[in-house]
Amino acid sequence: MATKKSNTIKLKFDSARELAPAPESKSAATIKPQYELFINGKFEKPASKKYYHTINPATEERISSIAESNQADVDRAVKAARQAYEKTWKKMPGKERAKYIFRIARMVQERAREFSIVETLNGGKPIRESRDFDVPTAANHFFYYAGWADKLEYAFPNRQASPLGVAGQIIPWNFPLLMAAWKIAPALATGNTVVLKPAETTPLTALKLAEIIQEADLPPGVVNIITGAGATGAAIVNHPDVNKIAFTGSTDVGKIIQRAIAGTSKKATLELGGKAANIIFDDAPLDQAVEGVINGIFFNQGHVCCAGSRLYVQESVFDQVLRKLKDRMETLIVGDPMDKNTDIGAINSKAQLDTINKYLKIGLQEGADMYQSSCKLPGKGFFCRPTLFTNVAQSNRITQEEIFGPVLTIQTFRTDDEVIAKANNTPYGLSSGVWTDKGSKIFNLTTKLRSGVVWANTFNKFDPVSPFGGYKESGYGREGGLHGLYAYVNVK
């Protein structure tokens, strides 16, 4: 048998991407032309009288008008939360609080399809992900924490937990509903009341959640959801009657918050950026590792703080892994987020697309080799091809800075010690991944990698019972699981 040189062989995947459209129907969800602020159990017009447009990043079409809160609105929301805290919520027996949270969980499940559609229309993520991940996981989060509300005395050995008061919560645009659930569920379970601000570009599912909260008859003021941009967030952070700040977003803003509350007794939990290492050893199950790398960096267009954006491959399997990665990238379908076959949807905003493109330029200027899949991109909307960079160094900016897009850098390594050192050589420490078939090596690495989550032979898994949060500049505090309760209580 004549054997050909492997570099002349190429699998062809054009047909894999050319599937007939399979769009989810928009009619299964209603989006109002205008949304107000949810304060004290009612939808109220903003004192600012101002509204801004929210768009569908896949089409750049305006889909609704959103109220912009000013200081007076923030004051009203905090006041409502304070009153609800003092008058009802902190006095309510845990088992009753639990039932409200359970109710919210159920209602999210009942309206799951609608939530998925709205999430995708407003955020650009593929409907497959909203449907199979974001919305069910959000509902599960409410379920999980609901059950804690009347069991807190078991959570903190030999200590009594008490709520902090009013929690100001500011969430990002990458998982709008899920982040709202991550924030609201544990806060309510522990007896706090909430003022939550969704991200400027993705307010719709949080406002839909407000509708549910209203329907669930949650006492007015226990959860207040107010919309706006950075100034609204700052007003929440700086409000003297807020006891706790929970923030998920960039490390830069996290640091600003840390400074802003320095002169106060406010508690904070920060869930910030990341630049996770994903490490493949030569004895790894390579095809599953490649799949893990794909999920690690292309899930949600790479808009994931724990994305596995730095790939380290043991040199002896580098060629194999690279080829498998490229083949797999060829089969990724980029396009209309509402199509059920889409793997990579729209970049969340023009600004974020500009940032990503800036980094692609930097990568090329730094002398790295860029590879992008050959897929077509839609003519309108904000899209980016799945991208990888080889021939990069630890000192390149593209390997050091968080890009928050579908962009992977690949480096090789030779020994365990080398890769551990390189993986930890970053100010971040949110997550990391290890792929090897050898159990003892897994534990060596999972112990030495300085990050809050380590995925071994898997990546980008999330669960309400599983604590999530960072080391170092990736923030502090945990969300999810038993440890997520600490963020919302004083223990005495």
Partner 1 sequence: MAKVLTNTKKIQVHLNGNGKEQVPAKRLNVLKTYKMYVGGQFPRSESGRYYPALNKSGVTLANICLGSRKDFRDAMVSARSAFSGWSARTAFNRSQILYRIAEMLEGRRAQFIDELLQQDVPVKQAETEVSLSIDRLVYYSGWCDKYQQIFSSVNPVACSHFNFSVPEPMGVISVVAPQNSGLLGLVSVIAPVIAGGNTCVVLASSEKPMCAVTFGEVLNSSDLPGGVVNILTGKVKELAPYFADHMDVNAALYCEKEEATIRMFKEKSALNVKRIHLYNDINWFSEEGQSPYFIFDFQEIKTTWHPIENIAGAKSGY
Partner 2 sequence: MAVNGTLPDFSFSPHVDQVGIEERASRFTKRSIKNETKVNGLKLALNMIDLTTLEGKDTDGKVKQLCYKAMHLHDVYGGLPTVAAVCVYPSMVRVAKQALGNSGIKVAAVATAFPSGQAPRDVKIRDTKFAVDEGADEIDMVISRGKFHQGEYNFVFDEIAAVKEACSAARLKVILETGELVTYDKVRRASDIAMYAGADFIKTSTGKISPAATMPVTLVMLEAIRDFYYKTGKKIAMKPAGGISKAKLALHYLVMLNEVLGEEWMNNEWFRFGASSLANDILMQLMKQKTGVYQSPDYFSID
Within a 10 A sphere around the Cβ of 83, how many other Cβ atoms? 18
Q: Determine if 2 is a binding residue for partner 2 (CB under 8 A).
A: yes
Q: Determine if 262 is a binding residue for partner 2 (CB under 8 A).
A: no
Please identify which residue in 10, 62, 159, 380 interacts with partner 1, judged by CB under 8 A.
159
CB distance 145 to 180 below 8 Å: no
Please identify which residue in 60, 61, 252, 437 interacts with partner 2, judged by CB under 8 A.
437
Which is catalytic among the residues 271, 330, 402, 479?
Answer: 271
Kindly give, in sequence order, each residue whose CB lies less than 8 Å from that of residue 117, ignoring residues fewer than 6 positions away: 24, 25, 26, 28, 29, 127, 130, 338
SS3 for 352?
A: helix
Please identify which residue in 20, 263, 395, 440 interacts with partner 1, judged by CB under 8 A.
263
CB distance 477 to 431 below 8 Å: no
Least Å from the CB of residue 25 to partner 2: 12
Q: Which range of residues in 94-102, 194-202, 286-294, 467-475 is near partner 2 by CB under 8 A?
A: 286-294
- Is residue 114 part of the annotated active site? The answer reads no
Q: Determine if 6 is a binding residue for partner 2 (CB under 8 A).
A: yes
The interface partner of residue 379, options being partner 2, partner 1, none and the CB cut-off 5 to 8 Å by kind, is none
Q: Determine if 462 is a binding residue for partner 2 (CB under 8 A).
A: no
- State the binding string over 306-345 for partner 2 (x if CB under 8 A, else -): --------------x--x---x---x-------xxx----
- Partner residues linked to 311 by β-bridges: 278, 410
The interface partner of residue 16, options being partner 2, partner 1, none and the CB cut-off 5 to 8 Å by kind, is partner 2
Q: Interaction with partner 1 in 470-489: which residues (CB under 8 A)?
A: 471-476, 478, 481-483
SS3 for 314?
A: strand
- State the binding string over 393-432 for partner 2 (x if CB under 8 A, else -): ----------------------------------------
Closer residue to partner 1 in complex, CB, 331/446: 446
The DSSP call for residue 452 is: S
Please identify which residue in 261, 306, 329, 407 interacts with partner 1, judged by CB under 8 A.
261
Please identify which residue in 286, 331, 442, 490 interacts with partner 1, judged by CB under 8 A.
442
Closer residue to partner 1 in complex, CB, 86/291: 291
The interface partner of residue 3, options being partner 1, partner 2, none and the CB cut-off 5 to 8 Å by kind, is partner 2
- Partner residues linked to 170 by β-bridges: 197, 247
Which residue type does 20 have? A
Q: Determine if 461 is a binding residue for partner 1 (CB under 8 A).
A: yes
Lookup result for tokens 């406010």: 266
Query: Which residue, among 217, 146, 210, 219, has the nearest Cα to 180 in the 3D structure?
Result: 210
Query: Which residue, among 250, 257, 239, has the nearest Cα to 272 in the 3D structure?
Result: 250
Q: Determine if 22 is a binding residue for partner 2 (CB under 8 A).
A: yes
The interface partner of residue 476, options being partner 1, partner 2, none and the CB cut-off 5 to 8 Å by kind, is partner 1
CB distance 413 to 425 below 8 Å: no
Q: Determine if 12 is a binding residue for partner 2 (CB under 8 A).
A: yes
**Phi, psi angle pair for 207, to nearest 5°:** -70, -35
What tokens does 210 get? 């407000």
C-alpha neighbours within 13 Å on the C-beta side of residue 2: 1
Within a 10 A sphere around the Cβ of 449, how many other Cβ atoms? 23
**Phi, psi angle pair for 47, to nearest 5°:** -60, -30
Kindly give, in sequence order, each residue whose CB lies less than 8 Å from that of residue 400, ignoring residues fewer than 6 positions away: 275, 394, 426
CB distance 97 to 89 below 8 Å: yes
Closer residue to partner 1 in complex, CB, 72/465: 465
370-384: b or e for each residue (b if 16 or more CB lie within 10 Å)?
A: bbebebeeeeebbbb
Closer residue to partner 1 in complex, CB, 229/256: 256
Please identify which residue in 20, 49, 259, 439 interacts with partner 2, judged by CB under 8 A.
20
Closer residue to partner 1 in complex, CB, 94/136: 136
DSSP per residue over 191-214, as a string?
T-EEEEE--TT--HHHHHHHHHHH
Q: Interaction with partner 2 in 92-151: which residues (CB under 8 A)?
A: 128, 132
Residue 360 and residue 275: Cα distance in Å, rounded? Answer: 16
Within a 10 A sphere around the Cβ of 126, how many other Cβ atoms? 29
Closer residue to partner 2 in complex, CB, 8/158: 8
Residue 19 and residue 334: Cα distance in Å, rounded? Answer: 12
Closer residue to partner 2 in complex, CB, 24/473: 24
Q: Determine if 3 is a binding residue for partner 2 (CB under 8 A).
A: yes
CB distance 474 to 272 below 8 Å: yes
Q: Determine if 458 is a binding residue for partner 1 (CB under 8 A).
A: yes
- Is residue 153 part of the annotated active site? The answer reads no
Which residues of this chain interact with partner 1, rule CB under 8 A? 140, 157, 159, 251, 254-256, 258-259, 261-263, 270, 272, 427, 442, 446-447, 450-458, 461, 463, 465-469, 471-476, 478, 481-483, 491
Give the catalytic positions in this structure: 271, 305
Which residues of this chain interact with partner 2, rule CB under 8 A? 1-6, 8-9, 11-16, 18-22, 128, 132, 283-288, 291-292, 320, 323, 327, 331, 339-341, 437, 457-458
